[in-house]
Amino acid sequence: MNSSLVNRIKRFSFVIFLKKISFILIILGIFTLSLLFGIWNIKHFDYANSKFVNVSKEQMDSYLEIFKGKNIFLVSPSEIEKEVNKNNGYISSANAKKVLPNKILIYFEEYMPYYLGYSSGKCHLFSQEGIKLEEICEECEKECLEYSVSQQLIHILSNSVLESGNMLIFQQEFETISLVLSEFGYTVMDIKILNGITSITDSNDHLFIFDITYDLDTQLSRLYLVGKKINADEIEFRSLDLRFERPVMKLK
């Protein structure tokens, strides 16, 4: 081929255009081949910043198995996060990140067990925030109590429903009472609810009685005043009933 013909071909607009986009075409070709060979298909799940206390790596892998082999560009992080959250009550938050070419990195945090409540023949585990984590057993009042002791959880026994919408009823009230009691050195161990009348036992077998369905703030104010006197005078007592204007104290 003579040089003049070659030069004419080089001057064609299409050839000039191809030369300009040749790099892009090469990249697209390589990318297309990588798709055909599955280089971008999800193969690995890694977990960062997670301690695996109540959730195991095997459990997490099983939840995410449905994404394995899928193209990483066709899976959104929100899909992965939703799958993790819906499968395990212990997961408080999950954050997924793509790591090219084929890895998903998961950051997640867990709710920690705090309350163990028995009502309506069922033993349920709750977090400190009042989130229901799981059902432990049915028709097992004794076992539920034993489990709470072995796991050092606050045990709740109620003759009425304890949870609604996967949330512990009266969680806010329990938390407020616990905070006030802790100011005077009392640690809540056991809670019994009978028709709204709540009996709270601390780690030293002191008994505190409230009606948490009626004006709890006033009862807590009474607790605060009496608690200061008990500590100041070093009073030894068995129980303190805060339902009355003049709290009823039974001495040891």
Q: Answer with the residue of higher pLDDT: 68 or 16.
A: 68
Which is it for the CA torsion 164, 165, 166, 168, positive or negative?
negative
Residue 126 and residue 95 share a domain: no
pLDDT of residue 52: 87
Residue 208 and residue 141 share a domain: yes
**What DSSP assignment string belongs to 99-134?**
ETTTEEEEEEEEPPEEEEEEETTEEEEEETT-BEEE
In the chain, how many domains are there? Answer: 3
pTM of the complete model: 0.80
In tens, the pLDDT along 99-156 reads: 989 999 999 999 999 999 999 999 999 999 999 999 999 999 999 999 999 999 999 9
Last residue of a domain, one of 54, 87, 110: 110
Residue 203 and residue 136 share a domain: yes
Residue 74 and residue 120 share a domain: no
Last residue of a domain, one of 110, 133, 160: 110
pLDDT band at 5 (very low <50, low <70, confident <90, very high): very low
Indicate the average pLDDT of the chain: 88
Q: To which residue do tokens 């004419």 refer? A: 8
